[in-house]
Structures are given as structure tokens and as C-alpha cells.
């Protein structure tokens, strides 16, 4: 879907004036993910890649940037490469009107993930290089399916049916959530798929007006009762994902707005098509602070 940038300066633990650079200044060698120093990386190279990923997310995905900055410093070093990857892949279908060029951009990322999954030499790139140090082979395969699912964004064809729409949310937002959780040490893929699906649905519903302006047909069924039912499914999945391991708490921060947004959609489905889903700035800050402190969504 289209990439939207919302300004988010959140007064939450770890979010300080200075943005991405504040995160990097806080890094200590023992907190760099993936054993980078043990594998012969230089501190300056790791910092440079980490800064680049954090800046990309800060500029292009303000909500995930705020979520990452609410996480412990050591977790941010894992999350920023994953979020930067997701941002670059999400952008790829939208930066050109030429479908072949968009396909080639997505294929480039699939080739990079194949290199990571193989465990051999990985191309030097400011996002791919740190990504290779936080992903295992299974995580790389999950993200490969994420990239493949993003091919829908290139074209104006509608979803084939509800199953296709479900699969899109699972393989985009769901797989990203699972990859983040796995990189932080969690292994219960099912619960994180549910959580990612629910968060992805909330984000997708917020983007409906933008997608329609781009000529997309994003809804399988645009009737108010169908939209309310869809949002209710998201809330059900969110409820099932309540009991998540504490090690994955930094990953779930990205879903901090999902519950309130889905409840808005259930209560008044017209807010979806009119572009009125979302929280006030005060509510956003308070909600993220609560989730960061308690680990409860």
C-alpha cells in the first residue's frame, strides 16, 4: 500500500529529542545485535548502517519509528533494520508507473533475502547488511513471501476474494511481526501472525481513502456491516494474541494503535471510507507509553 508519513514525536520511554541519532548514541558494543563485533565488523560500520536504517524509518514510517524508540536500546538495533526493509519494500511499487520496473525492484529484495537465507555472502547495502545480522533462514523466507505479496500493490486489480485479502495481511504485516519476534528470541509464530494480521488490518483500513485515490480497489466488500465484521475479526485476533512472551514485548509495540482503531471501525464503519480513523496526538502518546510500560495491548 502507499507509504504515509505521520509526524510522531512521542513522549515515551527511550524517545528523546534528536530522533535516530539519539538511538545510535545510546548503543554500546554489547548491545549490537547479531554478534556483529564477533564476526569482525567495525563499530563505525555498524553505527553507519544502524543510523541509515533508523533515519529511513524516522522519515518514512513515523508510527513504527515511535514504537522502536519506545523499545529498549538493544531491541532497536534489531527492529530498525527490519522496519527499514519493510519501508523500502512497501515503497517499491509506488515509486514508478512502470510495472516492470516495480517488479524488478521487488525482485532485487527477494534476491537479497535468498542470499541471507543461504547463509553465504550477502550484498553490501545499508539495509540488507544489518538485516542479515538479525534474520535467520526462516525469517528470511517469511520476508520473501512478504515481498511477493507486495506485488498486489503494483497493479490495480482488486483482491480476488476474502481469502486473498486475508493472505495479503498475513504475508505482509503478519510475517513482518513474526520476523521481528523471532529476531528478538520468540518462537510462537501463530500468536504473532494473529497480532500482525490485526495490526495490518488497522493500518490498511486507515489507508483506504489514499488507496482509492490511487485508483486501487482495496475492499472486497465495502458495505458497512461487512466492514464492521472485518474489524471485529481483527479485534478477535488481537485478543488471542494477548498472552505473548515478554522477550517479544518490543515487537508488539508496533501494534499499539490497532485496538482503538479497530474499535472505532466496529462502532462506525463510515469512519473508514471517510478517512476519520485514528487517535489524537495525546491519545497516541498515552497509548504508546502504556503499552511500553505494561506490555499489554
Query: What does the pLDDT look like over 174-184, one tens digit per residue?
Result: 999 999 999 99
Q: Is 122 helix (H, G, I), strand (E, B) or coil?
A: coil
CA distance 295 to 297: 7
Listed in sequence order, the residues at least 6 apart from 62 whose beta carbon sits closer than 8 Å to its beta carbon are: 5, 6, 7, 8
Q: Max Cα separation, the chain?
A: 57
Torsion sign over Cα 229, 230, 236, 242: negative
Q: Please indicate, yes or no, if residue 7 is contained in any of the structural domains.
A: no
pLDDT-based confidence at residue 11 (cuts at 50, 70, 90): very low
Listed in sequence order, the residues at least 6 apart from 100 whose beta carbon sits closer than 8 Å to its beta carbon are: none
Listed in sequence order, the residues at least 6 apart from 230 whose beta carbon sits closer than 8 Å to its beta carbon are: 201, 221, 265
pLDDT tens, position by position, 131-169: 999 999 999 999 999 999 999 999 999 999 999 999 999
pLDDT at 19: 62
CA gyration radius for the chain?
18
Listed in sequence order, the residues at least 6 apart from 164 whose beta carbon sits closer than 8 Å to its beta carbon are: 220
Q: Which of 145, 240, 247 is nearest to 195 (CA)?
A: 240
What H or E segment, with its residue span, contains residue 235? helix 224-240
pLDDT-based confidence at residue 243 (cuts at 50, 70, 90): confident
pLDDT-based confidence at residue 26 (cuts at 50, 70, 90): low
CA distance 167 to 196: 12
44 by Cβ neighbours in 10 Å (0-12 / 13-18 / 19+) ranks as: exposed
pLDDT at 45: 54
Q: Which of 27-31, 223-227, 248-252 has the highest mean pLDDT?
A: 223-227
Listed in sequence order, the residues at least 6 apart from 46 whose beta carbon sits closer than 8 Å to its beta carbon are: 32, 36, 37, 130
Q: Please indicate, yes or no, if residue 13 is contained in any of the structural domains.
A: no
Domains in the chain, number = 1
Residue 254 predicted with pLDDT over 60? yes
Q: Please indicate, yes or no, if residue 211 is contained in any of the structural domains.
A: yes
The residue among 126 and 37 whose pLDDT is bigger is 126
Rounded mean pLDDT of 200-213? 97
Residue 266: which domain range?
A: 20-294
Helices marked H in 20-92: 20-26, 43-60, 62-69, 73-91
CA distance 153 to 130: 26
User: Looking at residue 151, which CATH number applies to its domain?
Assistant: 1.10.600.10
pLDDT at 44: 54
CA distance between the termini of the chain: 25
Residue pair 5/60 in contact (Cβ under 8 Å)? The answer is: yes
Q: For the whole model, what pTM was predicted?
A: 0.86
User: What proportion of the chain, given as a percentage, has pLDDT over 90?
Assistant: 76
- The count of C-alpha atoms lying within 13 angstroms of the C-alpha of 52, restricted to the half-sphere facing its C-beta, is 15
| The C-alpha cell that represents 27 in the structure block | 548503543
pLDDT tens, position by position, 15-25: 434 565 555 44
Q: Which of 71-75, 162-166, 227-231 bottoms out in mean pLDDT, i.e. has the lowest? A: 71-75
Q: Please indicate, yes or no, if residue 6 is contained in any of the structural domains.
A: no
Q: Please indicate, yes or no, if residue 4 is contained in any of the structural domains.
A: no
CA distance 151 to 176: 16
Q: Please indicate, yes or no, if residue 1 is contained in any of the structural domains.
A: no
Q: Is 172 helix (H, G, I), strand (E, B) or coil?
A: helix
Q: Please indicate, yes or no, if residue 15 is contained in any of the structural domains.
A: no
Tell me phi and psi for residue 125, to 5 degrees.
-160, 145
Q: Please indicate, yes or no, if residue 189 is contained in any of the structural domains.
A: yes
Torsion sign over Cα 139, 236, 224, 280: negative
What H or E segment, with its residue span, contains residue 239? helix 224-240
Amino acid at each position: 500500500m502507499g507509504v504515509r508519513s505521520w509526524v510522531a514525536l512521542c513522549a515515551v520511554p527511550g524517545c528523546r529529542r534528536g530522533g535516530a541519532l539519539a538511538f545510535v548514541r545510546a548503543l554500546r558494543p554489547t548491545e549490537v545485535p547479531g554478534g556483529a563485533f564477533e564476526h569482525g565488523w567495525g563499530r563505525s560500520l555498524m553505527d553507519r548502517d544502524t543510523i541509515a536504517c533508523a533515519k529511513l524509518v524516522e522519515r518514512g514510517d513515523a508510527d513504527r519509528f515511535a514504537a522502536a524508540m519506545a523499545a529498549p536500546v538493544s531491541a532497536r538495533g534489531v527492529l530498525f533494520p527490519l522496519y527499514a526493509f519493510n519501508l523500502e519494500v512497501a515503497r517499491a511499487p509506488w515509486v514508478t508507473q512502470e510495472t516492470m520496473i516495480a517488479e524488478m525492484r521487488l525482485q532485487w529484495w527477494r534476491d537479497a533475502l535468498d542470499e541471507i537465507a543461504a547463509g553465504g555472502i550477502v550484498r553490501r547495502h545499508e539495509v540488507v547488511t544489518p538485516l542479515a545480522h538479525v534474520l535467520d533462514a526462516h525469517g528470511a523466507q517469511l520476508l520473501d513471501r512478504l515481498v511477493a505479496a507486495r506485488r498486489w500493490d503494483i497493479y490495480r486489480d482488486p483482491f480476488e476474494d476474502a481469502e486473498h485479502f486475508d493472505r495479503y495481511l498475513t504475508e505482509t504485516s503478519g510475517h513482518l511481526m513474526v520476523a521481528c519476534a523471532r529476531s528478538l528470541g520468540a518462537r510462537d509464530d501463530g500468536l504473532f501472525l494473529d497480532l500482525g494480521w490485526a495490526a495490518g488490518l488497522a493500518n490498511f483500513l486507515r489507508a483506504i481513502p489514499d488507496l482509492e485515490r490511487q485508483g486501487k480497489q482495496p475492499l472486497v466488500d465495502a458495505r458497512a456491516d461487512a466492514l464492521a465484521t472485518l474489524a471485529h475479526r481483527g479485534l478477535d485476533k488481537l485478543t488471542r494474541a494477548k498472552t505473548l512472551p515478554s522477550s517479544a514485548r518490543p515487537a508488539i509495540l508496533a501494534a499499539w494503535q490497532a485496538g482503538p482503531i479497530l474499535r472505532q471501525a466496529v462502532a462506525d464503519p463510515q469512519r473508514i471510507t471517510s478517512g476519520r480513523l485514528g487517535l489524537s496526538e495525546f491519545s497516541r502518546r498515552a497509548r504508546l507509553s502504556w503499552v511500553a510500560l505494561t506490555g499489554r495491548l
